[in-house]
Amino acid sequence: MNFLLSSEQHEMQRAVERYFDESLDTVALHKLFDDESDSGGHDPKLWSGLAELGVLGINLPEEQGGLGLEMIDLALIAETLGSRAAPVPFIGHVLATLAIAWAGSDTQRARWLPPLLDGSVIAAVGFAGNENENENDPKAASWTVPGAPHAQLFVLGLKDGQLALVERDDQGVAVASRASTDRTRRLGVVTLDHAPHETLPDASAHADRLRDAALILLAADAFGGATRCHEMAVAYAREREQFGQPIGQFQAVKHQLADMVVAVEPARGLHWYAAHAFDHRERDEAARMAALAKAHLADLYVSTARRCVEIHGGMGYTWELDVHIFLRRAMFDHAWMGSPAHHRARAADLAGW
């Protein structure tokens, strides 16, 4: 079986890379990252440009406004955004879009999919884990939601795989920013106080699938970030000189760089296969591969980002370089949706070990 990317997939990735390389230089990234206001960390123009590339619903059927592509194509976009530490609410938005497309009623799809696909409405998803005693009652509950400070629509998880659809502007809905290590993807606490809401009628049938999609996209983001960390470390080792020669000539640094690429490059196939299994394998295998991809690549991202800091030496700890932005992003990918240890245990259970 051929798992190489097609020319169309390569060009899709290159198009997103070109857009961010032209629209988001280091200065612009740091400006967004450093903005500590409640609405900080988000550039509407940057988000609009990404939406215009048509990537926000590429794996939805054409009759729902998508391109009829697969999870691997969506994962490739997440990989590219991870490699640029893109400060856009992509993962939460596309997960909320998928939830409505898969589990929503015809009325909900007709109302929300068009503005979600063109980016004029930003959505975010909060999975189960509400900060109240009765997780099945959304009338008085709160969720910590990535992307919440910039979202107008929320898909919120309840017990038993149910999902509630909530509009930000409705009475009884409050959103408060929450401090986060990763400032490229801001957190917010969404609190409902007898707020109106709609349930997605087929949510319980798709809840596990939505979780697996989240794990695959996180794994893809982590792989893209780890790849960029290695590239930054190599570039710095070539230009930084000590004792009259680039530090990349020193054996200890060579070993670190070699260890990084040996760890990172073979992991590419892990999230690619997890995305392939999502559409083409039995649900148990798809779930197991999604869990393994998230677990391994989240750990890999953190370790690679730390090595990148080490190779940069004292400069790696400064606020001015991009290195800490990727390390903080790696910590988000590591923590959200469960730790690597949790998902390794899940994968073992799914494999019958």
Count of domains in the chain? 1
The answer as to whether 164 is a domain residue is: no
Note whether 218 and 212 are within 8 A (CB). no
pLDDT at 37: 85
CA dihedral over 237, 239, 244, 249, signed as positive or negative: positive
CATH of the domain at 299: 1.20.140.10
Residue with tokens 């070990």: 353
Task: Say how far apart CA 74 and CA 288 lie, in whole Å.
Answer: 19
The answer as to whether 287 is a domain residue is: yes
The answer as to whether 21 is a domain residue is: no
| Each residue's pLDDT tens digit, 129-172 | 544 444 556 666 889 999 999 999 999 998 878 999 999 999 99
Tokens describing residue 139: 């009338």
Contacting residues for 163 by C-beta, under 8 A, at least 6 apart: 99, 103, 155, 156, 157, 199, 200, 203, 207
| Each residue's pLDDT tens digit, 74-121 | 999 999 999 999 999 999 999 999 999 999 999 999 999 999 999 999
**Which ranges of the chain have pLDDT less than 70?**
1-2, 128-140
The answer as to whether 322 is a domain residue is: yes
Residue with tokens 């370089």: 321
The answer as to whether 283 is a domain residue is: yes
Give 176's strand partners: 189
pLDDT at 271: 94
The answer as to whether 329 is a domain residue is: yes
The answer as to whether 233 is a domain residue is: yes
| Each residue's pLDDT tens digit, 44-53 | 999 999 999 9
The answer as to whether 171 is a domain residue is: no
Rg (CA), the chain: 20
pLDDT at 126: 94
Note whether 103 and 200 are within 8 A (CB). yes
Instruction: Give the domain extent around 236.
Output: 204-350
CA dihedral over 302, 304, 307, 309, signed as positive or negative: negative
Task: Say how far apart CA 195 and CA 159 lie, in whole Å.
Answer: 18
pLDDT at 132: 47
Taking Cα atoms as reference points, which of 57, 41, 52, 59 lies closest to residue 16? 52
